[in-house]
Structure 1
């Protein structure tokens, strides 16, 4: 089965971000560091940075992330790319919990509430600069 998954870039915050996302999305985080892969970086200060991290949730969500070492250009999250967390009426409580957690330290917040078209909708930019959109449709 082919899957399309968000892959987020960080500068030294990938582990922290994945653990934060796990705190409300649930699931397990797996992390490989640059130090665990010989030849990935020669800088001793970068050995513990996340080369690849992955959060797999019980809801079937996958969120991946990595830290950029100094040898690679860093591309900050942009408002042109948004992580969308969507679902149906049975997912309303789960999505609301995610919105509540992500709102701590967030900017550009559009409240998650009933929209004119009938869905619950909202958006924000989280404390790490990642844009999120939320939509829960009716039955």
Structure 2
């Protein structure tokens, strides 16, 4: 599979509504997972979207999540910093990209195994751009 680069839009609590709207606009298959769905049902914001993905018939992949207002080191939400670049796949080179982007930046989620089995992490680079990574587990 290699890897893919996809936009990931950050919303301030209305990611589900936005992604349902985008599904109406573009068509396709939408998957939505909340913080509770990913193993933290007792979290204060358990109903917020942790990950959503729309794959359209035209070949677009659009991703979104709700702003992590409780994550240390993450820049505060404001319009304009609402898009992250998402790198995902099974390519081991992604680990190297993560560490290079972290130089001079801030790791907001260490690259490590997550409850869904993959390695995931995020970093805000030295230019203020958020990068999200998901490295598929070898199955």
Query: What is the TM-score of this pair, normalised by structure 1?
Result: 0.49
> What is the TM-score of this pair, normalised by structure 2?
0.49
Greater C-alpha radius of gyration:
1
Please state which structure has a larger fraction of its residues in strand.
Answer: 2
